[in-house]
Structures are given as C-alpha cells and as structure tokens.
Amino acid sequence: MEAVFDRSGRGSPAIVDLTGAAGIGKSRLVGEFCRRAGQRGATVLRGRATEYEQHLPFQPFADAFADADDRDPSAASELLAVLSPAPRGLTIGPSPATDPPTVDRFALHRSTARLLAQLGTTGLVVALDDMHWADPASLELLDHLVRHPVPGPVVLLVSRRDRQTPPALTVALTRGLDTGSVIRIALPPLPERECVEGLAPDLPRVRAAQLYAASEGNPLYFLSLLHAHREGAAPGHGASSTATGDGCDGLPAGLGPLLLNELTPLTPSQRRTLEVVAVLGDHATPSVTGATARRTDAELDGDLDALARRDLVRAGPGGRLMLRHPVLRTLVYESTASWRRIDIHRTAAVELARTGAPAVARAPHIERSVTTWDTEAVAVLRQAADETASTAPTSCAHWLAAVLRLLPDTAEHAAERRRLMLRRARALGVAGGLRESRELLHQVISTSGPDEAGVRVSAVVLCALVERHLGRYPEAIALLRRELTREAGPSPADRVSIGLELGSSAPHNTPYPQVREEMSRTLSAARDLEDVPGEAGALALAAFGEAYEGGTATAAGLAGQAAELMDGLPDGDLTPLCEPLARLGWAEAFLGRFTDAERHADRGLEIARRSGQVYLLPLLLLCKAHVRIQTCRLPSARQLADEAEDIARGTGSSELLSFALANKAQVLVVASAPGDPEALSAAEEAVSGMGPSDNWRASMAWCMLGYAALTGGDPHRARDALLRAGGEDLHGLQPSMRPLFLELLVTAALLTGDAGSASAWAERAHKEADRLGLPLQRASALRSAAQLALHGGDPVTAATLLSEAVEECARSGAVFWEARSLLLAAPVLAAAGYAARGEAMRERGHRLATTGGAHLLAGLAAATTAGAPAAPEGSGIPQRLMSLTAREREVAALVAEGLTNQAIADRLYLSPRTVETHLSRVYRKTDIASRAALAALMARR
C-alpha cells in the first residue's frame, strides 16, 4: 500500500481494493496506512458505509469529505455541496417538468473527480471502509472513479468483505484490475505467532494455541475468545467457520454469542443506551442519543463512561458515538427486541426533525417505525424521494416503495397508488431498473380507470420508452398503436404525445416510411390544436427520419421549419421535447449543418440535465461528438464519448450502451494511431452488446468494427463486418452515410485483391452520392473512384478525383475528411507530376490533422512527407523501407506497380493470404495505411 502511495500520479494503479473476512483486520490496516500517509504530508479523508443506512446517498463519501475542512475548507465545502441531496424531481420520458434546475448524478461524478484532483495536488488518500454496505449512489460514483482514475497523487482505498460485496462493485473493481487502475490486496488469516505474541503474550502456549485454532487466525474472533477466557466464560468449540458454516452476517458461527456475552454485565440503562447508539448509527451524537434514550445529561454520561471502559462504545469522527466494531453494532441491533427497536427509531425520527435534519436522514427511522398510514410520516418519505431523485434515483425508488407499502389498498386510494407507481417507475428507469419499471407500468396501464386517461397515457408513453431501451421495439410500437385505437380513444393532446413517441421508434427497428403517415397525422393534429411545441417535435422527428433515409431535400425543409419553431420556444416548452430536439441535431449533422447541429445539441444537453432526463444525455452527447469528429476536434469528441458511455452504463440499456461504444470506437479510430487496440476493443464490445439485432444501432456498431479492423490492418475482418452491417444488397447501411461505408468496403476489397467488388461498390457509391447531393458523401465517392484509378495505374485521374474530394470537403466544413483527402492526394499529385501542389496539400493536411488531434492521419501525413530522413548513402532505399525484409520490399514494389494481391501471389508463387500477411507487416513497419501511400513511398526509392 505504501508502494502504491509512492507511485501515485505516475501512471501506476492508484486504487487499492482491500478484501478480507469480517474481523480480519482491514480497518486496522486502513487506519495504520492513513496515519503513515498523514505523516508524509498527504491529506487523508476517511469514510465508511454502514449496514442500516444503505439508502442514504453517497454516505461513505460525505463521511470522508466532512473531515476535509482542516486542510482545504473551500474544497471541502464544495464537495459537500455537490454531494448534498438536491430537493428536485427527476423525470424520464416526455412529461412536462416545472421543477427548478437539478444536477444529474453523472455530472456530480465528474464534479467530484475534479474536486478530488484539486484537493490532491500535494497528495491525497481517500479511504472508504466497509464498502460492501455502500449505497447504490456511492457504488455508481466509485465505478466512475475506477474507470476514470483521478489524475495526480491521489490514492483511493476501498475496504470490503468480498463475500458480501454487491455484484456491481465486484464488477467495477475487477474491470479496474483488468485495465491496471486497481491493485487488489486480500488479507489472509493472521499467522499464529503474530496473533499470539501480539494479542496474548502472557497466555500459556497450549491455551493460546487452542484459542488460535478455534479462531482460525481471525483477530476479532481471537480477541473475543481471549476475553471469554479471561472472564471465565466457556468459549465453546463450535467456532470454526469452515467446519460449522457461517453465522450472522458471514461471521464465524461462534463469534456472535461471544460478543453478546460481553453485554451480560451491563445494567438495563447501559444496555438501552448501547441499543440506542446501535440504532442511531451515524446520527448517534451525544445530544440525539440522550434525547432518544430519554436520559438526562448526567445519566447519559454515566452510561457512556461505563460502556467506554468496557470498550463497547468509542468516540468517532465529528463527536459521534460508535460501537467498537461494525460486527458488534450488527449483533446489538439484531438482538434488540423488535418493539424496542421500533420505539428507538420513532423517537429518533422525532428528535432529528426537531434538530432540523433533512428528510433523507429521517426517512430510514420512519421506514422502520411506521407500520400504518400516517400522513406526516408519509410526507417525510415523499420529501426524501424528492431530495434523492436527481442524484440517487435508486434511493428515490426505495422511499416511494415505502410509501406504497403504507398506502391502504382500498378503492379510495387506488388512483393515488397508480400515480405513485408511475413516479416510482420513472425513478427505476433512470436508475437502470428498466425491467422492474416496465412491470410497474404494465400494472398502471392495466388497472387505470376511464377517468384516469392522463395517468394511463403517461404510463403508455413511458412504457414504450422503456421498451425501446430494452430493445423491444415491436412491443413499444404495438403498445402505442393499441392506445391510439382504443374505443374511447385518446384526447387530441394525448394523440400528439403518443404520435411523437411512435415517431421516436424510427429508424431503430422500424423503417421511417412505416411511420411517415402517422407522423403526418401527428403534425396535423398539433397544428389543429395550435400546439406549437407539438408541431416542432413532429417536424424534428420527421426531419430525422427523412435525413436518415437519404431524403435530403425533404429533410432539409423539415429541419429548417423545426429549427425555426424550436429556436423561438422557451426552455420550459422544450422540456418535454428534448428527444425531438436531439433528433433535430442528428438530422442537421447528417445534412452537414454542423453549426446548427452542435447548437441544438448544446441546448438539449442543458435542458435534459436541468429536467433530469438522463436517458437522453448519451444521444445528445454523441450528436455533439459526431459533429466534432467531422470538424476535427477530436480531444473534446473523446471526452464527450466517454461521458456518453458512463451515462449509458448507468441506464441499464445494453442497446444504448452499444450505440455509445460504437460512436466511441469511431472517435478512438480517428484520434488514435492506426491499429490502436482500444478502438477495436470498444467496437467489439458494442457488437457483443447488440446481440442478433439488425437495427440502426446494430448496423452502426458493425460498421465501426469494420472501420477499426481496417485501420488495424485486417481488411478481411473489416469486409466481413461491413457486409454484416449492410446485409443483403447493403440496404442495412445507413442511406445518408452509405457512400462513406462503401468507401471502406472499396478499400478492404482492394487490400484483399478483390478488384471486381471494389469497382462495383465504387460505382454504387457514386450513384448514392449523386442521389444524396451532400458534399461530404460526394467526396467519399470521389475517394473511392480515386482508389480504383490508382489500382489501375492512372495517377493523373486519381489526382484529379482527390483534388475534387478536397474541394467538396472544404465546402462542407468537414475538416477531418478534408485533411484525409489532402493527405491522400499529396503523394498522388507528386506521382502525377505536380510535386509543388502535392507538397502544399501535404502541409495543409498535416496542419489540420495535428491541430485537430487526428492521430490516425499522422501516419498518413508521415507517409506523404517529402523530406523523410535519407537512407544510407548509395542504398537508393528510403529510410522507412530499411526495416523491411527482402520479400516484403519485393511485395511492396509489386504493389507500387499496381498489381493486385492475387497477381502478386501468382508472380511470386505464394498464396494470396501470405501476400496479405506480408503487406500488413509492410504497413505496420512503414506506418502507412493505404496502397496509394505505399506506392508514393516506393516511387522515391
């Protein structure tokens, strides 16, 4: 652990996963490490999770940050402000929200990481004890810190019992082990010599050995046996956890009775005070403890003195009282008579209310003490749900479940029950509990009465949204269409809401033409109602559908109308239209209107964060990332893609996560050096998460796998992935981007020696680009044609085509593709006899690529550099060819002559696969990514 501290901030693992059984000495070790780190000048923050407060959000982190005031009061107060409950509501789905601004929990994660970095400029240790009891919000935050380690000399120490750890935490820490950000230390039993000499040096050796054998090296158990021995109690012999199984809370079976035996000498008042401390947990300050135990100050002092002398109660951080060990708290709490526990919880809730504690602090005591409908108690539970909605939706859902348990199951309260179920379903959806959310929504839909049309339609629309995130598009569409055809039928306003959700199903698993008529009816209904927001939403969804399908002229008109209406609406009116606003941004991105797309994505992000529509954030973030890829601002594009991935993981939607990973793979391909394994890994995870789906998002995932494989030097896999994405006749490739994907297929085909397929796909790319009329897609088709011209030995034609591609890209504002076209054109122009023009193109392409962080193009820029270091005098071989073997240079020379892989194989009496292997090695050694660049390099020999 000290070695981790020494190496922190230098790229080594900075997260320690400390595991071991209860009582093995984890907390003791953590305490010693924190003491030493403090002596070395580090800021040390220590917090712990507690067993009976698992729905208090961020409890271990807030506990740790509360101790930061001494070192950096400003940072500490800011951290506590970030982690404090926000009394705001959180919605998922297209329902209006009028609440004040909220902080979404994912923004909170990033803020916390930034503040930790600020606090740790000179060294920071954050030690979190007993994280097997951590609340879900803390687990999400910890998962973020594992996947995005805080930069600088910051060590995060996590202590937990392995067998009681929630799966989410185990997965997060194990992923950190795989990526190298986490180091795991598992504490074994204490050896007999150290145990006996350290804890019982005065005990006869035979008796000490007996106690050690019974304890199996667990120090807590050994100390309890030792206490029993010295008190003259019979410790028993059934203590072995391996022989007799585990007892309470995973403890050795004999430990509980031994610890409880320590309570036997206590007076009734001392026992009651001890029980109050156990029940109160982190709220056990002397004042609250005295009031809850109904003891005077003098009586409480007497009880606490006696308990302290027996080392049952100790002083904790902030003047709180705490039991000697969490195991002891568990045993005392569970052994307290149930009626007594209820009374303590009830009294504690009253006392905390008197002291002004927030509802979220009082809610656990109310939940454990109120068993019948109590208006005041339920109001506190509702308020606790409000306080945790935006930052800890799992806790919000928990408190709403507590309200539902108390609500009488009568006809009088049936409508209220459905409203609460609808609200809880929203919270569960935000928290990632999509299936449980769906189950609740089906109950609401099936039991809603004729006078609850509003609740029913809200449940239907929300359920369709949840079905979409579960990848169940047919079910979502069937549910919406059934609602539209119900006998009573929805109101005109509800019909608009249903129509907007129905339009949102395309082009995922439903081609837009199948809902085009419904979108037209929705637009007409909104106009008849003079519902401007509804009209804007319908126009935006229609623009997206048409743009995706390649109906660029129609899409451009619809997008212009939608933008004009949305730009004139206040944010409050756009809150229920956040998804159509996101779709408008994507439509504009497909049409090459990059400035408008980013503007609308930014506005959508602001509204979605404020209204708590977390599920929309990835769609908006990825739209903005897509724009920044095209305009070659890649460092920020990667940050946006990372954030989208974080949020998608938190939603529980595997399809949304796959879409985020596919877009992240695209960023990584262009922002990394050719062949970087991270891009391929992201694309592979995206494809794996989509399963057998064949919708838009699945197609995108397979296309990005092909893109990553191609830049990684595996054209066969690239071709297979792209054909899997396109399906029969390649109709599965996104129509508005099909020329770009066909360009990848042309490249892969030429690299594998399939000139026939390359020619057919290049011709199709030309036709598709002409139909679309988009400069970026025309440029792609031109690059495909240029590849064929080069393959046929016609550099003059190739130079002309690539020069036209450069002009088209410059006209579109797609800086990345302009840089790529420039760098592809440079050596071809030189080969065609236009050396000066080629050098000018190379310089401009290199400048655009390096300014934008496009490391993929850096290799291409290097390959086109005219002033490469010279080879040894007289060799006639450029320096970058010197590393090639004779056979590899021979293959490269034949490529420069324009021969296909098959022709090279025939001439050299090799198999085509062997030629491909040689060629892949040539690309890797020379840092070249295309046959054209290789030909240019060979021409300088």
Report pLDDT digits (tens) over 15-73.
Answer: 999 999 988 999 999 999 999 999 999 999 999 999 998 888 999 998 888 766 555 55
What is the DSSP code string of 75-142? Answer: HHHHHHHHHSPP------SS----SPP---HHHHHHHHHHHHHHHTTT-EEEEEE-GGG--HHHHHHH
Res. 843: pLDDT tops 90: yes
CA 343 to chain centre: 42
Which residues pair with residue 18 across a beta bridge? 159, 185
pLDDT tier for residue 867 given thresholds of 50, 70 and 90: very low
* pLDDT confidence of residue 471: 86
**In angstroms, rounded to a whole number, what is the distance separating the alpha carbons of residues 202 and 305?**
28
* pLDDT confidence of residue 521: 93
pLDDT tier for residue 874 given thresholds of 50, 70 and 90: very low
Average pLDDT over residues 487-508: 88
* pLDDT confidence of residue 941: 58
pLDDT tier for residue 695 given thresholds of 50, 70 and 90: confident
pLDDT tier for residue 872 given thresholds of 50, 70 and 90: very low
SS3 45: strand
Mapping DSSP onto H, E and C, the string for 602-670 reads HHHHHHHHHHCCHHHHHHHHHHHHHHHHHCCCHHHHHHHHHHHHHHHHHHCCHHHHHHHHHHHHHHHHH
- Lowest-confidence region among 171-180, 390-399, 597-606: 171-180
Average pLDDT over residues 723-748: 94
pTM: 0.79
Average pLDDT over residues 129-135: 94
SS3 154: strand
pLDDT tier for residue 862 given thresholds of 50, 70 and 90: low
More confident: 885 or 98: 885
Q: Is 551 left (phi over 0), alpha (psi -120 to 50) or beta?
A: beta
Residue 105's CB: how many other CB atoms inside 10 A? 28
Res. 877: pLDDT tops 60: no
More confident: 591 or 319: 591
- Residue 507: asked if its preceding bond is cis (omega within 30°), the reply is yes
The predicted-structure confidence for 883-905, as pLDDT tens digits, reads as follows 677 677 788 888 887 788 888 87
SS3 181: coil
Share of the chain above pLDDT 70, in %: 90
> For residue 540, how many C-alpha atoms fall within 13 Å in the half-sphere facing its CB?
31
Res. 350: pLDDT tops 60: yes
Res. 264: pLDDT tops 60: yes
| Amino acid letter, residue 808 | E
Tokens 């529980």 label which residue?
652
- Lowest-confidence region among 69-78, 102-111, 496-505, 640-649: 69-78
Res. 870: pLDDT tops 70: no
Residue 44 gets which letter from DSSP?
A: E
User: Are β-strands 313-315 and 321-323 bridged in parallel, bridged antiparallel, or unpaired?
Assistant: antiparallel
**In angstroms, rounded to a whole number, what is the distance separating the alpha carbons of residues 364 and 55?**
8
The predicted-structure confidence for 447-492, as pLDDT tens digits, reads as follows 998 888 889 999 999 999 999 988 888 899 999 999 988 877 788 9
Q: What mean pLDDT is reported for the chain?
A: 87
Tokens 């066909």 label which residue?
742
Which residues pair with residue 182 across a beta bridge? 15
* pLDDT confidence of residue 82: 54
**Is there a contact between 64 and 146 (Cβ–Cβ < 8 Å)?**
no
- Lowest-confidence region among 269-273, 384-388, 860-864: 860-864
The predicted-structure confidence for 633-656, as pLDDT tens digits, reads as follows 999 999 999 999 999 988 888 889
pLDDT tier for residue 84 given thresholds of 50, 70 and 90: low
Average pLDDT over residues 739-767: 95
Residue 76's CB: how many other CB atoms inside 10 A? 20
- Lowest-confidence region among 74-78, 196-200, 337-341, 921-925: 74-78
Label residues 489-499 b or e (16+ Cβ within 10 Å = b).
Answer: ebeeebbbbbb
SS3 736: helix
**In angstroms, rounded to a whole number, what is the distance separating the alpha carbons of residues 243 and 235?**
16
Sign of the Cα torsion 444, 448, 454, 460 reads positive
Res. 88: pLDDT tops 50: no
Token pair listed for 317: 């951080």
Query: What would you measure as the largest C-alpha separation in the chain, in angstroms?
Result: 102
What is the DSSP code string of 173-196? Answer: HHHHHHHTSEEEEE--PPPHHHHH
- Lowest-confidence region among 19-28, 507-516, 599-608, 679-688: 507-516
* Closest among 272, 331, 332, 282 to 304, alpha carbons compared: 272
The predicted-structure confidence for 536-590, as pLDDT tens digits, reads as follows 999 999 999 999 999 999 999 999 999 999 999 999 999 999 999 999 999 999 9
Q: What is the CA radius of gyration of the chain?
A: 33
What is the DSSP code string of 425-478? Answer: HHHHHHHT-HHHHHHHHHHHHHH--TT-HHHHHHHHHHHHHHHHHTT-HHHHHH
| Amino acid letter, residue 359 | A
Res. 920: pLDDT tops 60: yes
Token pair listed for 741: 């994907």
Sign of the Cα torsion 257, 260, 261, 262 reads positive
